[in-house]
Structure 1
């Protein structure tokens, strides 16, 4: 069951694809749905993607496909609204054939920036909040936040001091994934996660550092690494 805004958004995307063959920009979707920010659009798109209604084409900033429509997409609409045919594989293929090249990746999302995180010894809990613009193409489905990396313990994974880690918010992760781990509800760190015999091992990606081992109850996963932003001076 979709929310009213999710229903409205998928119908808007479908109509734009029917009219032009190109999915709308985040700005156009924000204005069409009368939302206050593009982050609200991102959340709606992520929810529709997770439910299998839309699909994003990789490496293209404005490429959305409507995989299916909600059952009430026509019957629940007003009589003045244009009817929208169900999106099947043939329709999707036809749209892809007539679509022109997308605009440059200029859609951005305001992502909460929760201070700094250690890529070395744990240093501080996540606190404070501002926001930073992030290209929408870097973010997949889900709720995200950003953290500034401090330290060099993850350099062999390509994560350097001063980078901004883009984190998908979750409290679960598989072994071998890079996570934001909160230790003793006080200290946050970015490490590879490993589990062994009731303990959590937080592994660095730098031979100069030793793994950190804690009882499982002392470690809380707060997110998984989804991407990186780097400033060049």
Structure 2
């Protein structure tokens, strides 16, 4: 999954390489995406490289190679295992398919193997890494019978009063809306993601920490997109 800014930058680089044979400069990228500084471009470039869409070539100026494109830009569809598609497992051995006669109530009694999509900030916002880092087995009772789920590793301590510690793994159900008081994965300005309590008031959205050391951050509603809601947590001692 790419953010809008990441997708816009990839499309801009691809178009320029196809037209000129060389990628644009960082200043050109900054101007094209209407960013205030090149540090934002560096973060976007790193994110695209980590996701395997581009490759930076060492010891060469402006050397960026487009490796692949997303489906929205005509790329080859990704393998199912790289997206938000939980795999049902039965005991110690993965089940290759889900039996047609299994009901939702029976499904939640099984464990599921979910993709861990990187780290999420429980502190000041950081960029969410949206490629599959590894997988984690999650008890089926922790998941909803409907909807896609994924996992994220928590970085930071802003949610400790909600029982969420640095290093925990949170289980998220994909959603684009939330109720006031829900703990959500919120994407801010299409660039950075954070784990916070959600409050929608008029035309503003407040992202509230569960730690008095962190201030509540308030944004115009068009600057925040809900990416999912917290449904569970796994802690390793």
TM-score grouping bracket, smaller chain normalisation: 0.5 to 0.7
Q: Does 126-135 or 198-207 show the bigger shift? A: 126-135
- Say whether residues 1:126 and 2:93 are aligned partners: no
Change in CA separation of 1:44 and 1:175 when aligned onto 2, cut-off 3 Å: farther
Shift of 1:140: 2.0
CA contact (8 A) 1:151 1:161 kept: yes
- Say whether residues 1:27 and 2:90 are aligned partners: yes
CA distance in 2, matches of 1:120, 1:194: 17
Residue in structure 2 matching 1:112, options 89, 111, 115: 115
**1:139 alignment partner in structure 2:** 143
Shift of 1:199: 0.8
Secondary structure of residue in 2 paired with 1:156: helix
Shift of 1:139: 1.5
**1:11 alignment partner in structure 2:** none
Shift of 1:112: 1.2
Pairwise CA RMSD: 2.8
When the two structures are superposed, what TM-score results if normalisation uses the length of structure 2? Answer: 0.56
**1:212 alignment partner in structure 2:** 217
CA contact (8 A) 2:197 2:208 kept: yes
CA distance in 1, matches of 2:116, 2:125: 18
CA distance in 2, matches of 1:125, 1:210: 20
When the two structures are superposed, what TM-score results if normalisation uses the length of structure 1? Answer: 0.57
CA distance in 1, matches of 2:228, 2:186: 8
- Between Structure 1 and Structure 2, whose CA radius of gyration is higher? 1
**1:75 alignment partner in structure 2:** none
Stretches of structure 2 lacking an aligned partner (at least 5 in a row):
1-87
Runs ≥4 residues deviating over 2 A: 25-28
Stretches of structure 1 lacking an aligned partner (at least 5 in a row):
1-24, 50-54, 63-106
